[in-house]
Structure 1
Amino acid sequence: MSVEIRPFGREYADGVVALAQAEGWPTFSDAERVTRLLTAPGVVGLVAVQNDKVVGAAQLLTDGHQAYLAILVVAAEARGQGIGKRLIEAGFQASKAVRMDLLSTPESEEFYRRFTHREITGLRLFQGAPREAGDSEPGLR
């Protein structure tokens, strides 16, 4: 089955919401927010479409030289078909970036290590007071 990588458009928002819900990502929980986040200035939003169904999505923040891969998601049943790789390649092309930074879960590191890369330490900061030792991790995505 052929997969097309397309620029994000409002018509794909519900499909991206479904992917995010399957992953447990509350930030991408409604179509209006998804549309706003994937069409904001400086954002490249991409979707992978197979048989008129969204099976993957990517959001890159870019200034035209560097990019930050904010999300990359591929439907569980579509993994292993090269969709994630194609979304990243299309992201490089659409953003014109020469490098792409990202944060990764341990489960996805093997995938990202297949690309030419350099590993650096990263943190995700949340709004609010600094944490004290022993505080539980925020459950936000």
Structure 2
Amino acid sequence: MTARILIVEDEMLVAMNLEGVLEDLGYEPVGIVPDLPAAVPFYDQKVDLALVDLNLRDGLTGPQIGARLSEKGVAVVFVTANPGLLGDGIAGAIGVITKPADETAVKDAVEYALGCRGGAQLAPPACLRLFG
């Protein structure tokens, strides 16, 4: 079964590039969310992983979206140019990769997050700063 991945990103070129990378890797991007109101419908959908930026169209709402998705059982990896804004992390989220993230970083972080969600004991990739 193909993993369903939500992209939470307001810069459309970045989001579309990420979507293409995920499709090339064989994953199913389920949507692009540019702000908090657009995220609400995804809280009750089957999503395996969310890649979440911090600063979105409506401000610093990425952490709120990530926390809510995590509460719903979604694996969350933040993707941001400002990882320091997360401090020690967001409860339930796996970690953060720094933008700009190349295809290898995205691949490694996604494989790690999905593997851990499936119960595997994996070594985290160098590109991913873990929380907790």
TM range (shorter): 0.3 to 0.5
Q: TM-score, normalised by structure 2?
A: 0.36
Q: TM-score, normalised by structure 1?
A: 0.34
Q: Which has a greater percent of strand? A: 1
Q: Which has the larger radius of gyration?
A: 1
Q: Which has a greater percent of helix? A: 2
